[in-house]
Amino acid sequence: MPMKITTLLITALLLSTAAFAQKGVEDGSKYGHGEDSVRCLENLSLYAEYYKQKNLKEAFPYWQIAFNECPLSTSRIYSDGENMIQAMMKKEKDATKQEELYQLLMKVYDQRIKYFGDHKRYPASYINGKKAVSMLQYKKDDPEVVKEAQALLKQTVSERKASAQPAVLMSYMMSTVATFKLNATTAEDLVDTYIEVSNIFQKQIDADSKYTDKLIELKNQVEGLFAQSGAADCGTLASIFEPQLPDHTQDLDWLKRVNRLLARGDCTESDLFYKSSEHLHNIEPSSSSAFGLMQMYLKTNDLDKAIQYGKEAVELEEDINTKAKYHNYLSIIYLSQKQYAAVRAEAYKAIALRPDWGKPYIMIGKAYAAGANNFGADEFEHKTAYWAAVDQFAKAKSVDPESASEANDLIVTYSQYFPGTEEIFFRNLKEGEAYKLGDWINVQTTVRAKK
């Protein structure tokens, strides 16, 4: 073959090969074609080997070539790149280089969406969630970035719902609180976010067993974030949740959530708190919820309601000490109503459960002292009621040293109302002898004179 023809053939072959060589980023193929496909495969192999050895410094240059030239080759480019860049950002001290790495990280997310956004397991919504979390991680002090991340997270959670990653849900809540403080989100929108995130966490808790405790912890953190956000004031909570109450009177989760928010916001005297507590108690009655209702109605001076729920608390309670405490609370309510016999009846029930507790004896003594002016037929008999009262105070400190201080103060106070020596003499009585009090008090006591 003549030299001229041979030269022409070689030249044509080289030209055809060069023409055939093309990067994947240019022709939309996985690896490109010709020499560029070889280059792509080599760089993928080299970066993967160094990455496997955790030698990120050597892996990174080869990764960059693969990332830029053959973006459709594998989704691993993006997950590995994300990990490498974040590891490098932890060590980088130079602000300019930090910013370059941050921008490259954002490009990794965007390019992954461009080429693998339709991935069945990790679609665009999943990637956007990761991108927004990283934006907040590295730019949480930049208001514009926070707003952008919050919008991305809102879209992500809306699309992924119960499959949203816990980190995305937490970031969504935190970014919404942040944008609320920047006046870029309304209180109502923040409440909606709180409800949405809480509901999703609850679904994940119900469906999971391995990470249940952690999910419960995160759900509680979400509640804490909302409670401290500034949006959870009593007026806002009432304006948002009160209109919803008629539709949720049988919704246990809704009632519990609203009840907790109102309690955390110190809104326990609001009408919504009372109503939600009653509905909650009707669905899931317990001694503690009944006791809580009793305390609420005490604050509003609705004593009949307070007594109703106090009695219910006693009936539902199984612990002896707690049941005794509830009886004693009822005796306090009856004392405020001047129902002195009822005070003593409740105190006796408490004593039967806890004989070594001084408080119920003190309540009986206070009932005797409070009813003294209406006891008996004359001034002297009025004063004898104080003997019985002091007897109860003395009993309290004898059975319960913790009650001694209060009992001693009461003994000093009410001993001043004992009959005088002359009054006792004119009644033909002697100090120290037994004396029977009749009427509703109906106890045996001892004659004593005022000192």
The per-residue pLDDT for range 93-148, each reduced to its tens digit, is 999 999 999 999 999 999 999 999 999 999 999 999 999 999 999 999 999 999 99
- Of the candidates 437, 329, 429, 315, the one whose C-alpha atom is nearest the C-alpha of residue 387 is 437
Greatest alpha-carbon pair distance for the chain in Å reads: 158
Quote the pLDDT of residue 316: 93
* Structure token digits, residue 430: 């002697």
Quote the pLDDT of residue 20: 53
Quote the pLDDT of residue 26: 86
**Ranges under pLDDT 70 in the chain:** 1-20
Distance CA 215, CA 175 (A): 19
Quote the pLDDT of residue 9: 36
* Structure token digits, residue 84: 């490498």
450 three-state secondary structure: coil
**What is the DSSP secondary-structure string of 101-154?**
HHHHHHHHHHHHHHHHTT-SSS-HHHHHHHHHHHHHHHHTT-HHHHHHHHHHHH
| 444-446/434-436 β-pairing | antiparallel
Quote the pLDDT of residue 14: 37
Quote the pLDDT of residue 208: 76
Q: How far is CA 369 from CA 303, 332, 387, 441, in A?
A: 22, 14, 9, 11
